[in-house]
Amino acid sequence: MKVENAVLPPMAQAMEFFGAPEDGPFVMVNLLKFKPKAEYADGSDAHLTGREAYARYGQEVAKLVQELGGKVRYSGEVTGLMIGEVEDLWDMVALAEYPSLAAFREMAMSPAMHAIEHHRVAGLAGQLNIKTKPAG
């Protein structure tokens, strides 16, 4: 199994994701890996860790998720691995519930998201976003 963290999706992957049929509410599993130090494009806030920069984004994106009718279900530190093997564990896991793909797309493309995206880019070394649906 190949695992490749990324900060932004390639255009083809984003088009495929957002072009999928609408199938109602879903939970996005976010596996997050932080940079040791924040890397803002303008060189500001070099004293912050990647985790601290991402926390700025996380605080604001949680508000956006709630405004569209979703909720952050869980957020926590990765503290160990019981089964399997990976070269490098993720630092944090977050679960966010969205009412629909359309709502998620609206949020992702919004001016409010654009205004906070630089914190995410400054703080993340990479991540996986996994869309899930309830079983049964």
The domain ranges of the chain are: 34-132
Which pLDDT belongs to residue 2?
A: 79
The rounded distance, in Å, linking the Cα atoms of 66 and 77 is: 22
Which pLDDT belongs to residue 20?
A: 94
Burial-class residue 50 by CB neighbours within 10 Å (0-12, 13-18, 19+): buried
Where residue 119 falls among pLDDT bands split at 50, 70, 90?
very high
List all residues 6 or more positions away from 60 whose beta carbon is below 8 Å from its beta carbon. 112, 116, 119
Taking 90 as the threshold, does the pLDDT of residue 1 lie above it?
no
Average pLDDT of the residues in 35-58: 97
Which pLDDT belongs to residue 109?
A: 94
Where residue 134 falls among pLDDT bands split at 50, 70, 90?
confident
Name which of 17, 29, 45 is nearest 109 in CA terms: 17
Characterize 97-110 residue by residue with b for buried, 16 or more Cβ atoms within 10 angstroms of its Cβ, and e for exposed: bbebbebbbebeee
pLDDT tens figures, 72-114: 999 999 999 999 988 899 999 999 999 999 999 999 999 999 9
Entry pTM = 0.92
Of 3.30.450.20, 3.30.70.100, 3.40.50.1000, 3.40.50.9100, the CATH number of 34-132 is 3.30.70.100
Average pLDDT of the residues in 5-21: 92
Taking 90 as the threshold, does the pLDDT of residue 126 lie above it?
yes
pLDDT mean across residues, the chain: 95
The owner of tokens 């070099």 is: 46
